[in-house]
């Protein structure tokens, strides 16, 4: 039997949407036709059409006076009419839909492909939330990173002088970076719990930064906030006349409170503990084998890119500058440059493994990479941490170890590729550049290799 679908929507979404839906439902029932109608009214989307519905459908009736996303119906026969037409003549519309040509085999193949993709995506509700946060974060990383990089154009120390343009550029970029983790956490929570999740998510992200937990802490904060908001919604039952205060008062208040306290007591404690332990550990390593130290520092730079592990490694190396030990600083900077650079190369040679958005962010990552702004790789790491972070660590560890082997030394704690042109800032410049290049290639190849084995790709392999 032919199955029909419909979507109804009107400008205010209060009455016509539902009348049209009812008219179609009723007419279909009278005709004995299988029909499902999605309503997009003020209440939100109800009776939503699933991928499966769409795949099985003979044709789709769009009775809408507003814009609706038609992309999901690509490859299907679609009739577009106004809401009024569905109310006035539902029978005619249904007849018209039934007469539409069935989708061609080509379209069907398309559909199957789509379906597989969707399957992989659906299975990963977790990744959907993550990706939502990441996609809101990307512009901040790009804008902030590029502005900071731009401030280096005026000279490496230019940004340190208050009131200069370079200083302001650096500040603006810094603010964008400061918003990065809150936005990531906020929109992960928003994806999970809708509007009431945003406030606890933003606050949790801010606190993740404050307790030094970096973007990984932000991801935890986002999920905590989102699920806590949902939990509050489920558990707290108010009398009907007070229900209105749930989304504006009760959920944000309780979920923000709980997320915040958890960030301080459960996340913050261990984070400072880890930082302390790592610091002690690194101190004990000072006399040890230089290559192992480089390997270690390099790997640490890529673990959380701006989080506690990265900061400890950076602070350790920068601290040694005062004792006129310059090798570790060189290793740390090389290792901090390879994550975004490697990602950039990966997006260039393996476009298919990345979304359009990521490909664009990859271009910006190149500039951030050469500027030693490791954060450029965060969107990619956050979107797929278990696969991307190990690749980044391996590449950074390689760069760090090579830098030590080549006996490279760096006298300033920042600057990226620009310091290579400053006389005496770096020793063994060419070998140092080689270390960075090799680390970059290792990162890129591993990212591509791991990404290939992403669950989405595997799901597609299995069903093929």
Partner 1 sequence: MQLSEILKKDHVLLDIEADSREAVIDELTKTMEGTGVIADAATYKAAVLKREEEGSTGIGFSVAIPHGKSAGVNEPGLAYARLSQEVDWQSLDGNPVKSVFLIAIPEEQAGNEHLQILSQLSRKLMHEDFREKLNTASNSEELIAALEG
Counting contacts by CB under 8 A, is residue 198 touching partner 1?
no
Does 70 sit near partner 1 (CB under 8 A)? Answer: no
Tokens of 76: 């299907």
Residue 195 as a binder of partner 1 (CB under 8 A): the answer is no
Q: Which residues, other chains included, contact 22 with Cβ-Cβ below 8 Å and sequence gap of 6+?
A: none
Candidates 36, 39, 303, 435: give the one binding partner 1 (CB under 8 A): 39
Nearest approach, Cβ of residue 241 and partner 1 (Å): 9
Q: Is 15 in the site for partner 1 (CB under 8 A)?
A: yes
Which position among 2, 3, 19, 178 is part of the footprint of partner 1 (CB under 8 A)?
Answer: 19
Please name the residue that has the structure tokens 């059409």.
Answer: 49
Which stretch in 34-42, 48-56, 334-342, 448-456 sits in contact with partner 1 by CB under 8 A? Answer: 34-42
The residues that bridge with 7 in the sheet, in sequence order, are 38, 62
Cβ-contact 131, 38 below 8 angstroms? no
Catalytic residue among 7, 9, 10, 180: 10
Residue among 4, 5, 21, 180 that touches partner 1 (CB under 8 A): 21
Size of site (CB under 8 A) for partner 1? 29
Residues 6+ apart with CB under 8 A from 380: 343, 358, 361, 365, 388, 447
Per CB under 8 A, 252 contacts partner 1? no
CA distance 316 to 280: 10
Which residues have a Cβ under 8 Å from the Cβ of 50 and sit 6 or more positions away?
none
Q: Does 26 help bind partner 1 (rule: CB under 8 A)?
A: yes
By residue count, the chain amounts to 464
Of 366, 338, 306, give the one whose Cα is nearest residue 446. Answer: 338
Taking CB under 8 A as the rule, which mask of x and - marks residues 72-111 in contact with partner 1?
Answer: ----------x-x--xx-----------------------
Give Cβ neighbours of residue 86 (< 8 Å, ≥ 6 apart): 6, 8, 20, 21, 23, 24, 61, 63, 93
**CA 337 to CA 437: how far, in whole Å?**
10
C-alpha–C-alpha distance, residues 397 and 451, integer Å: 19
266 counts as binding partner 1 under rule CB under 8 A: no
Round to whole Å and give the CA distance between 280 and 235: 45
Residue with smaller CB distance to partner 1, 27 or 207: 27
Q: Which is nearer to partner 1, 204 or 252 (CB)?
A: 252
- Asked if 312 and 279 touch (Cβ cutoff 8 Å), the reply is yes
Do residues 376 and 343 lie in contact, with contact meaning Cβ atoms separated by under 8 Å? yes
Q: Does 45 bind partner 1 (CB under 8 A)?
A: no
If the CB atoms of residues 66 and 458 are measured against partner 1, the closer one turns out to be 66
**C-alpha angle 139-437-142 in degrees, rounded to nearest 5:** 5
Q: Applying CB under 8 A, does 244 fall inside the site for partner 1?
A: yes
395, 446 contact by CB (below 8 A): yes
| 113 catalytic residue (yes or no) | no
The minimum distance between CB 17 and partner 1, in angstroms, equals: 7
Q: Contact between 352 and partner 1 (CB under 8 A)?
A: no
Stretch binding partner 1 (CB under 8 A), from 12-20, 103-111, 150-158, 270-278 = 12-20
Candidate list 4, 5, 6, 18; residue touching partner 1; CB under 8 A: 18
Q: Which of 45, 248, 288, 349 binds partner 1 (CB under 8 A)?
A: 248
Q: Which range of residues in 11-19, 267-275, 420-428, 437-445 is near partner 1 by CB under 8 A?
A: 11-19
CA distance 365 to 140: 12
Cβ atoms < 10 Å from Cβ of 49: 18
Contact flag: residue 349 with partner 1 (CB under 8 A): no
DSSP-derived letter for residue 246 is I
Q: Say whether residue 331 binds partner 1 (CB under 8 A).
A: no
In the list 234, 240, 352, 356, the residue contacting partner 1 (rule: CB under 8 A) is: 240
Q: Using CB under 8 A, which of the segments 94-102, 246-254, 408-416, 441-449 binds partner 1? A: 246-254
Which listed residue (4, 38, 41, 120) binds partner 1 by CB under 8 A? 41
For 33: left if phi > 0, alpha if psi spans -120 to 50, otherwise beta; the answer is beta
Q: Is 250 in the site for partner 1 (CB under 8 A)?
A: no
- The residues binding partner 1 (CB under 8 A) are 11-12, 14-19, 21-23, 26, 39, 41-44, 65, 82, 84, 87-88, 240, 243-248
Catalytic annotation, residues? 10
């Amino acid at each position: 039997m032919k199955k029909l679908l419909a979507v109804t929507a009107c400008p205010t979404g209060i009455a016509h949407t539902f009348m049209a839906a009812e008219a179609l439902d009723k007419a279909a029932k009278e005709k004995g036709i299988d029909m499902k109608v999605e309503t997009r009214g003020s209440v939100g989307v109800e009776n939503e059409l699933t991928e499966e519905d769409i795949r099985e459908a003979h044709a789709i009736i769009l009775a809408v006076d507003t814009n609706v996303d038609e992309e999901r119906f690509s490859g299907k026969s679609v009739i577009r009419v106004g809401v009024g037409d569905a109310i006035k003549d539902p029978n005619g519309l249904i007849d018209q839909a039934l007469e539409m040509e069935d989708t061609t085999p080509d379209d069907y193949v398309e559909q199957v492909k789509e379906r597989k993709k969707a399957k992989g995506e659906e299975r990963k509700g977790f990744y959907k939330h993550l990706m939502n946060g990441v996609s809101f974060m990307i512009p901040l990383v790009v804008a902030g990173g590029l502005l900071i990089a731009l401030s280096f154009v005026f000279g490496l120390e230019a940004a340190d002088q208050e009131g200069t343009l370079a200083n302001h550029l650096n500040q603006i970029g810094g603010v964008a970076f400061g918003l990065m983790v809150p936005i990531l956490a906020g929109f992960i929570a928003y994806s999970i719990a809708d509007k009431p999740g945003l406030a606890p998510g933003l606050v949790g992200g801010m606190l993740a930064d404050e307790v030094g937990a970096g973007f990984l802490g932000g991801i935890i904060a986002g999920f905590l906030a989102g699920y806590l908001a949902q939990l509050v919604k489920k558990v707290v039952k108010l009398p009907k006349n007070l229900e209105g205060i749930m989304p504006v008062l009760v959920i944000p208040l309780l979920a923000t409170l709980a997320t915040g306290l958890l960030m301080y007591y459960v996340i913050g404690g261990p984070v400072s503990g880890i930082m302390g332990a790592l610091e002690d550990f690194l101190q004990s390593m000072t006399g040890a084998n230089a290559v192992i130290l480089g390997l270690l520092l390099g790997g640490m730079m890529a673990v959380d890119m701006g989080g506690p592990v990265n900061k400890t490694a950076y602070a350790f190396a920068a601290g040694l500058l005062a004792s006129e030990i310059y090798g570790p600083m060189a290793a740390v900077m090389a290792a901090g440059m390879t994550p975004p650079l490697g990602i950039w190369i990966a997006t260039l040679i393996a476009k298919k493994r990345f979304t359009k958005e990521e490909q664009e962010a990859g271009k910006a990552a190149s500039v951030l990479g050469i500027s030693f702004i490791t954060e450029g790789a965060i969107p990619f790491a956050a979107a797929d941490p278990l696969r991307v972070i190990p690749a980044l660590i391996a590449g950074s560890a390689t760069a760090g170890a090579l830098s030590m082997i080549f006996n490279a030394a760096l006298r300033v704690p920042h600057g990226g590729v620009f310091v290579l042109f400053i006389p005496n800032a770096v020793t063994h410049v060419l070998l140092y550049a080689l270390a960075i290049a090799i680390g970059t290639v290792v990162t890129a190849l591993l990212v591509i290799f791991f990404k290939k084995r992403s669950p989405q790709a595997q799901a597609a392999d299995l069903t093929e």
